[in-house]
Amino acid sequence: MTYSPPEIPNGYILLARIMTEGQVWGSDPMTFKLWIWLMMQARHDPYPWTLGDTKIHRGQLVMSMQQASDALTYEDGRGVHRPTRKAIKCALDKLESWGMVSTVRNS
């Protein structure tokens, strides 16, 4: 009898256990959450998607600061917390300096 993993709607990402030894693991929660969100949003199909004159390949994504802010907003007992554009840019800059992402800024 062979094992068949369950179907996961919209796919999945794999996390390596060694990531607990990396810089992002010990960083602030916002940077960590942004990194996970970016991985989940990245294109996973093997075929490129065209946006205007730009091809978006596997592992790439197009995002706005507003989309990131919406995705990273959370609520706790003290209210709703929405990250600012500056906080998201700071987290992206950290991830880029660690070689975990590369960015092309449009505006």
pLDDT tens for 75-104 read: 999 999 999 999 999 999 999 999 999 988
pLDDT in tens, 16-71: 999 899 899 999 999 999 999 999 999 888 788 888 888 888 889 999 999 999 99
Neighbours of 92 (CB within 10 A): 21
Query: Per-residue confidence at 107, pLDDT binned at 50, 70, 90?
Result: low
Q: Confirm if 36 and 52 have CB atoms less than 8 A apart.
A: no
Q: What is the pTM of this model?
A: 0.84
Neighbours of 28 (CB within 10 A): 13
Residue 79 is predicted with a pLDDT of 96
User: Could you tell me which of 59, 44, 57 has the C-alpha nearest to residue 12?
Assistant: 44
